[in-house]
Structure 1
């Protein structure tokens, strides 16, 4: 025994422990029979290269759960809509979708708010006439006010310092999400929490920013509670406060003030950056394709005219404008990846996917699929028009993802994009800044693909 002890030096012990850990990792994470093909995964880390085609979206109901990264778990703490699962998620989403439907189709309140915001957006553009300007802050403020109107029934002036600080915090966090150190944190959170030099990385900035946003939302909710009227629900917060009392015995549903703040945070996160960046991409594409802007303006003049304000009902009569917006969403591909988790055993493309498997939905593989799009790599609104110039739907168009986990704010986003875009081109012609080349179409960011900063010139029509 003593001889054996002498032979086992420190290096041998460490090697033995490593081999044991590798064996445990292999047994724990080995693929089940008939799993989708892919390269051997790295020990402890795995890989993202096991996959199958986009027929997976046909079984969207089997991919209802949402895996939460360590950073997301710290931000939401199992609250909100986007990262919750099971019964709580179903109840929260059902309520939110019902509210959006009521205020979109019934009271038409949301459209009135967006139309009002279109006027403020155009006024802000008019103030910038005569000099090149970056439209990002103005468009971001308009998109944010649409969500503020939905959630709190009011809007903020674009120059309000607190409002702009809030938007800056959100934008900074979105850009930091793709930082390599943030990705490492999501793989090895325990390491970042134990090493002092890593504790103050970009992940801590995201947590700090989000805490400030949630604090702002909680203050607004408290203001709402003070003048809440059970017989007159002005907005999402009013309706949710009423639901808290109705569901007080159903604790699993998660209706309480804390969750309201995080549901509002979800709506802000999903509704602001996506609409902002899609509109910015739309401006970029018409700068690079001025003939597209001319056709859109001809259609606006024919259907709406120079003075009447655009409304949602106009879209059905404006197939080319609708096609331009859809093609912008396809090419911009704002959210290229979408994380899901199987909520039951399922089979896709003949392969077995067990319950609890994390799945990354790669929307780029669908939106840029050469077998589905005639000119997949080029901006071409004709993708959404038939031979008669009528708008046509495409089965491979999934900018809002698919299934029951698709973006719940899709109807609102579609309305915003149409009204903002048509309002701008009804009143202005967008052109390159004097002496400037067309801006780059290369995106920045990873979680959300946004355009690099650019300037435009706007002239009244």
Structure 2
């Protein structure tokens, strides 16, 4: 080794040691400076410098790790996702107190690096402040105007059901993957509300949008993207991030093209859907000289993207879980079908039938509870310094993910499987939603749509879709495992992703007519 090489190697070693010592000193200072003036912070496992508690987390199932930690540290505790401080709220009472009783304090969104990269604070799901308030209010008003949770939505769903049934009938009882037909059908409902019309299942533009949204939601929950959220400088080496960027760019381009087409045929006196209403509001404000409003192209594109992805994935995924569970538990499927036949017969199920189908309604709710498709919710942050259950939580930084504020995770899986609220939290048991007389019972701990200021704005639409699609499909088909596969073989292990999808599987749908 030359003298120069030796000096360079020594220099590199000194630099590395210096960096490690600096991080260690920084960690010790920060961990010792939990200001007594501010109050006691929630307990939790001691983090390592830079890595935090990453080595203790199962990045494939972080919600399971957090549930285990809650047993040791209680219903409110702190973990570190890399350098990011995260306060976890566990159990029904704690989550309700935060999201409902102190809704204003816990109502801001913690925007992780991946969502900041793609949304830049625009749209509805990953935004804060006045822009979020205006976009959410506008979306709620217009979705209701176009029938969300009302007769108008019911008509759109009833129009879509025959298309889905036709696709299933074409399989003639042979096994098939439920993902595409179910997601296409559900996506057409939000498409009709947003764009003013449905798409054909063979339309390449439509199938591309649905398949891309599904893939993006899956990628967002991958271990590599979670690593990126902890250490954004890893971005150039993460392939999933490259795929996500392409998907988002394609989404923006497609939405922009669809909006352009609607703009060319826009009639301000006859709005066809959400996009038309947004364009009319934008045009009105611009004509009045208000060029600095929230009604701009970025908010339109990302609001539409948020509504489309959320309106497709959550309901479609829950419906797929419902069909899988019916195949897994045929005796429950038989009871649902007996009730539908007895109460409705062969006519089309309607929303008003829900009150007369308590067992079916209980099965749908139990599917949502057990499927637990958004186990960690979407991260929140506090809008101010908060003292909660005797612990101090510092105000989060929601302006940029580069500012490491405190993230708050309402652990919804710990609510939907809280053993102090549910008799058998880990099993599929429709009796959770039935009284002794067989009547349907609402349960306060049913937080499948979250709660508070960030509660799912499409809850009314989702509930209607789940009921009408589920009852209509169970009325027409008996669902079972493929030939050679038993009910016991059907795997209920969820697929890793931002939402929990069923693992890849096939079902047979045999006509009951």
Normalised to the residue count of structure 2, the TM-score between the two structures is 0.83
Among residues 312, 324, 327, which one is paired with 2:366 in the alignment?
327
Aligned partners of 2:415 and 2:446 also within 8 Å: yes
- Give the Cα separation in 2 of the matches to 1:304 and 1:103: 28
2:414 aligned residue: 365
What is the Cα deviation at residue 56 of structure 1?
A: 3.2
Aligned partners of 1:52 and 1:349 also within 8 Å: no
Matches within 5 A, 1:335-414: 335-338=374-377, 339-356=379-396, 357-414=406-463
Matches within 5 A, 1:43-82: 43-47=49-53, 49=79, 51-54=88-91, 55-60=94-99, 61=103, 62-82=105-125
1:159 aligned residue: 202
- Give the Cα separation in 2 of the matches to 1:344 and 1:223: 43
What is the Cα deviation at residue 253 of structure 1?
A: 5.3
Alignment partner of 1:303 is 2:343: yes
Matches within 5 A, 1:186-265: 186-193=229-236, 198=237, 201-248=239-286, 254-265=294-305
- Give the Cα separation in 1 of the matches to 2:182 and 2:42: 43
1:22 aligned residue: 24
- Give the Cα separation in 2 of the matches to 1:69 and 1:25: 22
Among residues 467, 479, 493, which one is paired with 1:418 in the alignment?
467
* SS of match in other structure, 1:337: coil
Q: 1:73/1:131 Cα in 2 relative to 1: closer, same or farther (>3 Å)?
A: same
What is the Cα deviation at residue 251 of structure 1?
A: 6.4
Structure 2 unaligned blocks of 5 or more: 1-6, 54-77, 80-86, 397-405
Aligned partners of 1:65 and 1:341 also within 8 Å: yes
* SS of match in other structure, 1:104: coil
Alignment partner of 1:292 is 2:332: yes
What is the Cα deviation at residue 171 of structure 1?
A: 1.9
* SS of match in other structure, 1:352: strand
Q: 1:21/1:250 Cα in 2 relative to 1: closer, same or farther (>3 Å)?
A: farther
Aligned residue pair count:
448
What is the Cα deviation at residue 293 of structure 1?
A: 1.2
Normalised to the residue count of structure 1, the TM-score between the two structures is 0.92
* SS of match in other structure, 2:510: strand
**CA displacement 1:198-221 (0-9 Å, x = unmatched):** 16x111101101211121111111
Alignment partner of 1:184 is 2:260: no
- Give the Cα separation in 2 of the matches to 1:13 and 1:444: 42
* SS of match in other structure, 2:409: strand
Q: Which moved more, 1:233-242 or 1:10-19?
A: 10-19
What is the Cα deviation at residue 13 of structure 1?
A: 5.7
